[in-house]
Amino acid sequence: MKKILAILAAAVMVLPMAQGAVKVHTIGDSTMESYNESATDKRGWATYLGSFFNPEYVTVNNRGKSGSDTRSFYTGAAYWESVKSQMSAGDYLIIQFAHNDEGTVTYGTDNLEYAAYCAANNLPAPTDARGTNPQTTYRDYLRKFVDEAREKGVNPILMAPICRAYFSGNTIRRNGQHDLGDKFWKIEDGVLYKDQSLPEGDSTMSYVHAMREVAKEKGVPFLNMTEATRDLYLSYGEAQCLSLMFVDKEPGKKDQTHTNAMGANLIARMAAQMMKDAGILADYIEIPTSISASPNAIEIGETYSGIAQNKEFLLTGFGLEPASGTVTLSATGDLTISTDKENYGKTASVSYAGSTLFQKIYVRVSYTGEGAQNDKITVTSGEKSIEVPVTATVISLSGGSAVSARWALTDHTKAGEAAVEGPLSVEMTMSHMVATDMKNDATGVDGSQTSVIRFHNADDSGKKTNWPTDEIDENPGRYIDFALTAPATMDVRITKVGMELGAYSTAAMKCHVNSGFGEAFTDVETIYEVSAVALPSIGPKNGNPGAPMIGLELTPMLTIAAGETLHIRILPWHENTSGSGKYICVKNVVIEGQAFAPTGIESLQPSEVRSQKVIRNGVLLIERNGKVYNAQGVEVR
């Protein structure tokens, strides 16, 4: 009977689609996430998955989120519930977790179980809430994703996580394949046993095996991306794999978890091929062998007149004929292009050899007009050519009222105080962070001596405590938050986010700067990242002054709808070692913008306004006083 049901399920997946594009939703962690191209060289593989589908029928909604394990993604209001709200019957859901389920503290022990153990034994509670056990909670949350997707008529797919590039000779180490059998913790009868091991072949601590078992139990497709990426990495060999496919962790050292554009594109190509081979949306998957662009269209969305935007796409080709040659590119309108991110112009050329082409193309544009913009980049190789459309909606900033908030952060006892211009409400808060003290001997952005507040990891009560060991990514529960709430009758368009950042008593502090909206922190985007190199150590050492602080001036496209709240969060982590006395320093946080009356929406007194921003089927809407408006202020219901 199970075999008959499986055949019927596979048949449903290749039926012709109804009118309108079906969505493939992807949920997972940082190895899938879509990153801000100006913030980092990291690229999650699901960023490129849509390039292998016929866009007339299938689109991809990538909701991978840095730092997520199955529990935090399921319980976080900004994640699973918001993804479900975007799903429609007939859609597909790719589920890929394990990297953070393995835990940065607990090595395969469920974090809540470990927290209870700590409470019972008067030990400090873990400040990192991630970590599930492959035999219990990991399976439970996978089942929840599967069951709740099916309740909405969505087709779930369990996809094993991509490998970490943990080479050991001609193989990938066991933990690189998400099997913690060589080292794990367990709690039995109230006793914690550290550094346990199991013989090869015992899959008790394998997250991949656990996912495969859930797939069998639920009768859903299982695609073993762990095995596929292991074979891909080994086919290149350690040196080439790390050099070509992974980002820098620090100068001279490669990150073995997070891929660059080439690695992400190759993995997305592999994922699409695995889906096609499994009969999942097979009629709508196209694996190009000639020259192609990924993504095959650039949608900038809303942008401000006069504010530069930077985008990119990958130019790839496999099995090309002739085996060597030159590809030319030309851009229209306000677009300029570059192959090195330095020299921009209206044209560019790329040479290839060995029948293979892989080149990142950088696109820069600063629109001078307003309204809809439709340009293109034409790629020509011999008699063949392809076009990459570039679309945007340009908004003028003229006629607005200046608003701003500035946190000088010059006194750790008054860290939350801000200078505010315009009708904004502002607030600074912290989670699992504490402003410990001031130092007057740090080196500022200009190289002169300056004072800084030192911020440190803290427990639930705000008491300074050790940083966790072996973190390689943000902890969503640890942050310094700067919030701006727009006035009830005005939208605020953010034109600048600035700050100064540094580290004190350490050269291994990393961080993300993320934006998000509302109490649930939705629409999260990483607008700046320090990961390939650490924050500069700004304190004096051995009689020498520290390095200068980093000065940031970011121009993210962020609009705060009337009555809504924007959060700018700094999420630090200390890589490689634990301990205390290691600090992140932040000062002169400034957020600037222009306030406008909401277009097309009647003027109301603040007491009369009740508004919220929602996303339905991937479209931003504003609900105000029982009416629904689109992002341009036009009533849609």
232-244 confidence digits (pLDDT tens): 999 999 999 999 9
Residue 1 is predicted with a pLDDT of: 38
Residue 596 identity: F
> pLDDT tens, 161-217?
999 999 999 999 999 999 999 999 999 999 999 999 999 999 999 999 999 999 999
What distance in Å separates the CA atoms of residue 122 and residue 125, rounded to the nearest whole number?
Answer: 9
Report the mean per-residue pLDDT for the chain.
88
Report residues of the chain scoring pLDDT below 70. Answer: 1-20, 77, 576-578, 599-637
SS3 329: strand
pLDDT at residue number 9: 40
Give the pLDDT confidence score for residue 602 in this predicted structure. 44
Cβ pair 224, 213 in contact under 8 A? no
Q: Which pLDDT score, from 0 to 100, does residue 460 have?
A: 86
Query: pLDDT by residue (tens digit) across 378-391?
Result: 999 888 899 999 99
Would you call 407 helix, strand, or coil by DSSP? strand
Dist CA 563 CA 625 (whole Å) = 12
For residue 148, the surrounding DSSP H or E stretch is helix 137-151
Query: Would you state the structure tokens that stand for residue 165, as one six-digit string?
Result: 């590039």
**Would you state the pLDDT for residue 635?**
55
| Domains parsed from the chain with CATH numbers | 2-283 (3.40.50.1110), 292-395 (2.60.40.2310), 401-597 (2.60.120.260), 610-637 (no CATH)
Q: Nearest to residue 65, comparing CAs of 514, 459, 393?
A: 514
Helix (H, G, I), strand (E, B) or coil at 20: coil
Beta strands 479-485; 325-331: pairing state: unpaired
Give Cβ neighbours of residue 627 (< 8 Å, ≥ 6 apart): 635, 637
360 CB-near residues (< 8 Å, 6+ apart):
261, 312, 313, 314, 315, 339
C-alpha dihedral sign at 118, 123, 127, 128: negative
Closest CA to 61 of 98, 101, 99, 21: 21
Q: How far apart are CA 422 and CA 294, in angstroms?
A: 42
